[in-house]
Copies of this chain bind each other. A is one copy, B any other.
């Protein structure tokens, strides 16, 4: 029975200061590993759903610590490939009462950012899989990551694996020269289920609410319906669009 879920993404080493200390005051950092797609994988594993996390991590003890951490949560790690120079890092200073949290990123040149199509054997990855989940963060990392993501989507389509995407637009990523809406349309074209809000749709696909009188009530819901319909019209493979509005979760279905 094909029932495995595959997620693809970047996982980083998080180094957080303890006890609300500022970074320059702290003599120690608490180390954990995290990334949106890896967290999804851990949640699925927690519910007993078989799931493999796919990424590229360095072949050193930091990479191995990362892999062991995923395994601890029951996530399959056999499809992870080793290579590249480093795992991305972010330093976190947890905010106290009157002071916000602060993040210092040190994620450039990560192993996943240097991935190229052909490095991952997607046929083997999707063997036994029924679902593939990716997010808008991955194509934002680098051209290579965007290409590998497209390669995965196309192979998933070929093998009949359902494809879902969380658009998750992040302005501060997308530094390698391409804009979000240069890259995302080709990827969404092979995706069955799309998650995201209106800002995500606007930035990733250039789709804005139409014919919505913003002075009227229930604007949000109407705007959402407009965007969902346009997405499904422009991208015939998309069968469902799911969004999280402030007060409710909505889903629109194709056909």
Interface, chain A (partner B; CB < 8 A):
15, 18-19, 22-24, 26-32, 60-62, 64-65, 68-69, 71-74, 85-87, 89, 91, 93, 102, 104, 106, 108-109
Contact = CB atoms under 8 A, between A and B. Distances in A.
Contacts of A32: 27
B106 A108 contact: no
13 contacts: A18-B19, A18-B28, A23-B62, A27-B32, A28-B29, A28-B31, A61-B102, A62-B104, A69-B72, A71-B72, A86-B106, A89-B106, A109-B109
Given A86-B106, A106-B86, A108-B85, A65 B30 contact: no
Nearest to A61: B23
Contacts of A74: 68, 71
Nearest to A29: B29
A24 B64 contact: yes
Given A71-B71, A85-B108, A86-B106, A31 B26 contact: yes
Contacts of A68: 24, 72-74
Nearest to A87: B106
A170 to B, nearest CB: 18
Nearest to A78: B74
Contacts of A27: 27, 30-32
B26 A91 contact: no
A69 B22 CA distance: 14
